[in-house]
Structure 1
Amino acid sequence: MSFISNFFSPSDNPNSLGAKFRNQRQKDFENLFFQNFSKSDPIRVLDVGGASYFWDTSSLPSLPKVEITLLNLGKEETTHPKIKSVIGDATSMPEFADKSFDLVFSNSVIEHLYTWENQQKMANEIMRVGKKHFIQTPNRRFPIEAHYAIPFAQYLPQKVLYFFLTKTKMSRLQKWDPTHAQQYLDEIRLLDQKEMQLLFPDSKLYLEKFMGMVKSICAHNLS
C-alpha cells in the first residue's frame, strides 16, 4: 500500500511519480541553463511561486555568484544564504524593473490563476522582467489530471468532481477537505500546447512525455 500511496502522492513527496518527473525536468532545465550561462557569471533568478525545497537537488544554489528570489503571495521559509523570499503577485510585478533578472523560472504555477486574463498578465510580466525564462505547466490534454490524479477529471462538471474529491478516495487515495477542494476547483485553469505558445509566442516548447503522451509543457527561450 505504501508503494501505491507514494506513487500517487503530490510531487513534494520525493518517492512520488511527480517528484521523479520533476527531478528529470530539473536536469533537462539545467542542461539548457548552462548553455546560456557560465558557472562564474553573476546570475539573478526569479522563481515565481517557488519553494526553497525545489532547489535542494539543484546545482544552481552552489554557483558562486547566484541569487535566487522566491516570489509568492505569502512568505516562504528559506534558510539557504543564496535563496531569499519576497511577497508579491505573479500577475503584477512593478517592484522589478525591465530585464532585472537573468532568468525567470516557474514550475506548475501559471495554471493556478483562475482566468486566461491572469495567465496572460503573468506571462507578460515574466517576459518583461526576465532576460530568459523557463515556465512549466501540466498539459490539459494528458489523460490523468495532474492535481487530482483522476483520469479525465479536467472534463468533468465541477459539481461531479467536487463530489469525487470530498466524498470518495479516488484522488490520491484520500478525501479532500471541502474548502481545499473548492479552492482548487476555482483556481485551476489548465493550459494546452496552443495556449502556452500564445502566452509565450517567441519561446520554444519543451514537451515532457509519458508513454508517448505529453504530460507537461515548458515554454523557454534558452538556446
Structure 2
Amino acid sequence: MLMSPTNRLQRLADDSSANSLSHRLRARRFQLFEQLIGGLDRPLSIIDVGGTNRYWEQRGWAGRDDISITLVNLEAEPQVHANIQPTAGDATDLSEHADDSFDIAFSNSVIEHLFTVDNQAKMAREIQRVGRAYWVQTPNFWFPIEPHFLVPVWHWLPESTRVAILRRRGVGWAGRTPDADKALRVIQEHRLMRRSELAHLFPDAKIVGEKFGGLTKSWTALGGFPALDRVTA
C-alpha cells in the first residue's frame, strides 16, 4: 500500500520512534548540549519548561544521580524517576522559583506554543531569571514545512485559509476541527519565531541554527555556558 505524503511526514516527525528524522535531529542537537554542560560542577540542576519524562528517557538521563530535573507543564506528569520531578506550572510565570535557582533553564520546542509575542517575552524573561545558563530551542519561521501541521508553507498562508482547511480536514498532528473558533485557537497557539525575534528576547544569547537540507530548520538561544565561546553560530 502506498503511503500518503502526510503519513510519510508524520513518520519522519514522530519523535517517539527512534528511527524518525525528528528523533535523530534531537539526538544530534542534544550532543551540543552535552558538550556545553561537560565541564560544569555536579550535581547539576535543570528546570525543563514544557519537558517530559520521555524526552529525558530518550536522552539516557533518567535515573542519573548527578542530575536533577524539574519539569514544568500545565499539568504535571506522574513521577517515574527519582531524579525527575514533574510539576504543574506556567511557562510565563515561574515565580515559585527564585532567581538563579537552577544551573540550567532548558526548553525544547515550547516557546512557539504560547499564542502571542507578549507570552513569548514573558517566558523568555523567566527562563533568563531562574537559570544561570539557558537553552531554548524553537522551530524556524522561515523553514518551509511547519512542524506541527506538516504542510509546506502552512504558516505562511492567511489565517482565514488555514482555519477553512482545518475545519474540513485534519492536518499533521491536528485533527479536523469543524468549529471555527476552536480551529482559530489551534492555529493561533502555534506562533513560529524568526531569528530576529528570538535574539530580541534573549539579547545576551548566541543564536545557533540547525540545518536540514541546506535550510535552517530551528534556532537555539544559548546563554551562560562557560564553553559557549567554542560554539559556532
Q: TM-score, normalization: structure 2?
A: 0.85
Task: Give yes or no for the alignment of 1:29 onto 2:44.
Answer: no
- Equivalent-residue separation in structure 1 for 2:156 and 2:35 (angstroms): 35
Which residues of 2 match residues 1-223 of structure 1 at below 5 A? 1=2, 5=7, 7-9=9-11, 10-14=13-17, 15-34=19-38, 36-38=39-41, 41-168=42-169, 171-172=171-172, 176-178=175-177, 181-221=183-223, 222=225, 223=228
Q: Is the 8 A contact 2:148 2:174 kept in 1?
A: no
Gaps of 5+ in 1: none
- Equivalent-residue separation in structure 1 for 2:78 and 2:96 (angstroms): 21
Report the secondary structure of 1:19's partner residue. Answer: helix
CA 1:111 to 1:181, structure 2 compared with 1: closer, same or farther past 3 Å?
A: same
Report the secondary structure of 1:125's partner residue. Answer: helix
Report the secondary structure of 2:106's partner residue. Answer: strand
Q: Deviations over 1:29-61 (max 9, x none)?
A: 212221x424xx121100001111001122444
Report the secondary structure of 1:78's partner residue. Answer: coil
Identical aligned pairs, as a percentage? Answer: 38
- Equivalent-residue separation in structure 1 for 2:89 and 2:102 (angstroms): 15
Runs of at least 4 residues off by over 6 Å: none
Gaps of 5+ in 2: 229-233
Q: TM-score, normalization: structure 1?
A: 0.88
Q: Is the 8 A contact 1:7 1:17 kept in 2?
A: no
Aligned residue pair count: 218
